[in-house]
Amino acid sequence: MTLLHVAILSPFIIAILVPFLHNYFQKIHTGWFILPLPILLFVYFLSLISSTMNGETIRNTASWIPSLGINFTAYIDGLGLLFALLITGIGALVILYSIYYLSKVKEQLNTFYVYLLLFMGAMLGVVLSDNLIVLYTFWELTSLSSFLLIGYWYEREKSRYGAQKSMMITIFGGLLMLGGFIMLYMMTNTFSIREIIEQVPTIAQHHLFIPALILILFGAFTKSAQFPFYIWLPDAMEAPTPVSAYLHSATMVKAGIYLVARFSPVFAGTPEWFWIVSAFGIFTMFWGSFNAIKQTDLKGILAFSTVSQLGMIMSMLGVGSAAIALDSIDDSYYTVAILAAMFHLMNHATFKGSLFMIVGIIDHETGTRDIRKLGGLMGLMPITFTISIIGAFSMAGLPPFNGFLSKEMFFSSMIRIVELNIFNLESLGLLFPIVAWVGSIFTFIYSMVLVFKTFTGKYQPEKLEKKPHEAPIGMLISPIILASLVIVFFFFPNLLAYTIIEPAMASIIPAVLGDGEHFHVHISPWHGFTLELYMTIGVVALGILGYFTLRKWSGIYRFIPERLTINKGYDAALYSLDKSSFHLTRFYMTGSIRNYLLYIFTFFIVILGTSLAVKGGFSFSLEGNASVGIYEVILAGVILIGTITSLFAKSRLTSIIALGSVGYTVSLFFVLFRAPDLALTQLSVETVSVALFLLCFYHLPEFKKPEKKLNFNWPNFIISLGVGTIVSLLALSANSQRVSETISTYFIENSYKLAGGKNMVNVILVDFRGFDTLFEITVLGIASLGIFGMIRLQVRKEEER
């Protein structure tokens, strides 16, 4: 286990200690014990920047299931380090913020921080795993932990609904993604992402290549809330604000972005990848910004703005995949989209994280997030207002904030796409800059709504639950740090360019780099009077006009019928599944054991019988069998007579005796086959069974013949005959088709040598499969105790009567 593995697993280890810390130090907020961990991890990952800047990678492997090619391989390159810094850096600020946001008296802090640490560790596992199966394990763990965090206030119906919705959609995508991973393994015979990338030239024409691409994108799109899977994100806003600031601005929703970036070297040279990623991304950007304007809840606005910003980053990754298709870095276009995606990824984490925290402060200090009740808070909360201006203006793409720089790069990547002569972009490519520009106008409008509807206008104290005032300094530290970074990254963007963005780009599109080549990234706040600048000026002009005329044109949202929305479709589908499953279950769950046995046996006959017929599995051969003697024939006849007698006997005693004769005759077979230990065991079991049967039947009422003659039940006869036939055919086929030597030879040779026992059956039961025997005895013991408890309960009830 290396230091890198410890870094990934440390949140899980600390999570185990949280309940004990919470119980023993009740006077101290539990978050203070958690805060040092993300800080230490952040410092550790910062120390690795020099290595990734030099093109080095760190790869450490811990053996897990080597026989299946599944090992816990931790891998850090430029892309993984970028995300690791976001996860730990934003995580530290969120934990600091939560210390002041969550009450140590009213909240169950032990469960909150356990869930948060589980999520942090899972996210680190996702971005730092080289093995597909390990990545998938951590991926689904992020879905599970986010479900717990979103549903943290489980007493609220909306919290439960949002948690269930997010888990169902993201796990659905994760299962499809797993199918894509398995297809990649079938093509490459490896689960290692590094080794898969090396085999891309040989698998690109494989018939499973495109299906794997589509399934993996399902996982990415559901996790990063791309259209039409975005519907879970607004409902996830029912989580506590620290959760929203962490999961829905910087980490979980970025997991899908990471997946697309990580697999770009595998799929990005194909037109399918280009069109799916870029088209869904740009439409999601537009759709999210369009819907954000009509929201009245501050977190609702931020939720749809997050959808929009994620679509924007996704579209840039899709457009940037042209760099691999063209296999060149001679023109800056080929990398500007990837550069913009990585830069905006970090910018979005800073301004959106600060905005979520500010919304939490507003809710905390006023008791509401409804913009219809807010207004006039600028003088009462000046620091909060200042941070809001910085975050919102950065989100709108205005200078002097970092969002302006990445928005300009976004426009550059969308404009230059028209110049490409691949993937039919000569004509269809014109849609990209148009949609990007219109979506940016809506982005500007909702950014202004977020700030000015809250802090300017008429102050309405009668509509507020609390008297508003500035938040305590502890709650302001984290958003102040993030807002400061928004400004610092504008004036000094190359602090990120040379250290983090260049190595990340080399991880995403390494195929376009030749020997000795590397990316040279230089970000400048000013490029002169360019088309991108004119587009920004147009966004600001039309955005201001749209904001001040919002009441006049906001009626367009009424033209979209509420019952035709994707949310309504999801609810209707869920209701239909629930109702249909209820009726189906009522149909076959009749409460009759006889019916259940009919289902089981019918399935048994159909599946196994069909398999035998289709696969030609039946075979019969007497080769190698011993000859049948007269004694075996006589004993078989006795068994047959005893069986028939037990079925047609007119008294219970006769049936018991006949059934016992069958068991005793089987023990004689064991004697003939020279297995005295089995014969003795069978005799003992049969004696006990007969005695128990006699004791049980002694207490039953007298056996009476039925008054009416029972009709012959043909379905039962056919099913019983079918089961007997199938089992017989399987036994004959298994005996006639030995593909390897019998395992009995091993036990004959090793029972005494390895276990010191000459009774081979006892040695197998006690030594070779001792745990199986122990568990069987345990199950029987539990069943016996259960039966004993039910009998005592029944006896007690009868005594009380």
- Average pLDDT of the segment spanning 497-508: 90
Q: What is the pLDDT of residue 97?
A: 96
- pLDDT for res 519: 67
**Structure confidence at residue 29 as a pLDDT band (50, 70, 90):** very high
Angle separating helix axes 78-101 and 109-127, nearest 10 degrees = 170
The model's pLDDT over 526-560, given as tens digits with 9 standing for 90+, comes to 878 889 999 999 999 999 999 999 999 988 988 87
Q: Which are the contacts of 245, defined by CB distance < 8 A and separation ≥ 6?
A: 90, 94, 97, 353, 356, 357, 360
- The residues with which 76 forms a beta bridge, in sequence order, are 58
Is there a contact between 27 and 96 (Cβ–Cβ < 8 Å)? no
In angstroms and rounded to an integer, the radius of gyration of the C-alpha atoms of the chain is 35
What pLDDT was estimated at residue 203? 92
Q: Of 127, 91, 35, which is closest to residue 353 (Cα–Cα)?
A: 91
Least confident of 584-588, 603-607, 632-636, 743-747: 743-747
With 0-12 / 13-18 / 19 or more C-beta atoms within 10 angstroms meaning exposed / middle / buried, residue 194 is middle
Query: For the chain, which residues make up each domain, given as ranges?
Result: 3-555+563-570, 741-801
Distance CA 288, CA 301 (A): 9
Q: What angle do CA 204, 208, 210 make, to 5 degrees?
A: 65
**Mean pLDDT along residues 557-582:** 88
Rounded Cα gap, residues 57 and 61, in angstroms? 13
Give the residue with greater pLDDT, 514 vs 557: 557
Helices (H), 764-800: 770-800
| Residue 408 phi, psi dihedral angles, 5° rounding | -65, -40
pLDDT at 706 over 80: no
CA distances from 58 to 9, 50, 54, 230 (A): 17, 12, 12, 35
Angstrom distances, CA of residue 358 to CA of 170, 368, 375, 381, 442 = 27, 13, 15, 11, 21
Q: Is residue 99 over pLDDT 50?
A: yes
Pair of tokens at residue 108: 């169950």
| Beta-ladder partners of 65 | 70
Taking residues 231-237, report their average pLDDT: 94
Contact 184, 212 (CB under 8 A): yes
Q: DSSP per residue over 314-379, as a string? A: HHHHHHHTHHHHHT--SSTHHHHHHHHHHHHHHHHHHHHHHHHHHHHHHHHHHS--BTTT----TT
Residue whose pair of structure tokens reads 């290595």 in the numeric block: 51
715 upstream amide cis, omega within 30 of 0:
no
Minimal CA–CA distance to 265: which of 357, 200, 361, 215?
200
CA distance 293 to 439: 11
Calculate mean pLDDT across residues 646-670: 86
Q: What pLDDT score was predicted for residue 516?
A: 55
What values do phi and psi take at 701, rounded to 5? -65, 165
What is the structure's pLDDT at 513? 55
CA–CA gap between residue 175 and residue 180 (Å, rounded): 9
Q: Is residue 63 within a helix (H) or strand (E), and if so which, with residue range? A: strand 58-65
Task: Give the tens place of pLDDT for each residue, 139-153.
Answer: 999 999 999 999 999
pLDDT band at 659 (very low <50, low <70, confident <90, very high): confident
Q: CA nearest 468: which of 368, 357, 355?
A: 368
In the block, tokens 């128990």 appear at 692
Residue 384 has pLDDT above 90, yes or no: yes
CB atoms within 10 A of CB 590: 11
Share of the chain above pLDDT 90, in %: 59
Rounded to an integer, what distance in angstroms lies between the CA atom of residue 562 and that of residue 565? 6
pLDDT > 90? residue 41 = yes
Strands 58-65 and 70-76: antiparallel
Comparing 371-375, 579-583, 624-628, the range with the smallest average pLDDT is 624-628
Cβ neighbours of residue 342 closer than 8 Å, sequence gap 6 or more: 82, 500, 501, 504, 505, 508
The percent of residues above 70 in pLDDT, for the chain, comes to 96
Q: Note the pLDDT tens digit of each residue in 196-231.
A: 999 998 998 999 999 999 999 999 999 999 999 999
DSSP characters for 549-592?
THHHHGGGGGGS-GGGSHHHHHHHHHHHHHHHHHHHHHHH--S-
**Following DSSP, what letter does each residue of 653-676 receive, concatenated?**
HHHHHHHHHHHHHHHHHHHHTT-H
Cis peptide before 400 (omega within 30 of 0): yes
The answer, yes or no, to whether residue 447 has pLDDT greater than 70, is: yes
DSSP of 393-411, one letter per residue?
Answer: HHHHT-TTSHHHHHHHHHH
Contact 186/208 with Cβ under 8 angstroms?
yes
Q: How many residues does the chain have?
A: 801
Q: What number is the average pLDDT over the span 725-740?
A: 83
Q: How confident is the model at residue 641 (pLDDT cuts 50, 70, 90)?
A: very high
pLDDT digits (tens, 9 = 90+) for 279-316: 999 999 999 999 999 999 999 999 999 999 999 999 99
Average pLDDT along the chain = 89
Helical segments of 2-67, H only: 3-24, 31-34, 36-46, 49-53
What pTM did the predictor assign? 0.82
pLDDT band for position 331 (50/70/90)? very low
Asked if 371 contacts 298 with a C-beta cutoff of 8 angstroms, the reply is yes
Q: What is the band of 411 on the pLDDT scale with cuts at 50, 70, 90?
A: very high
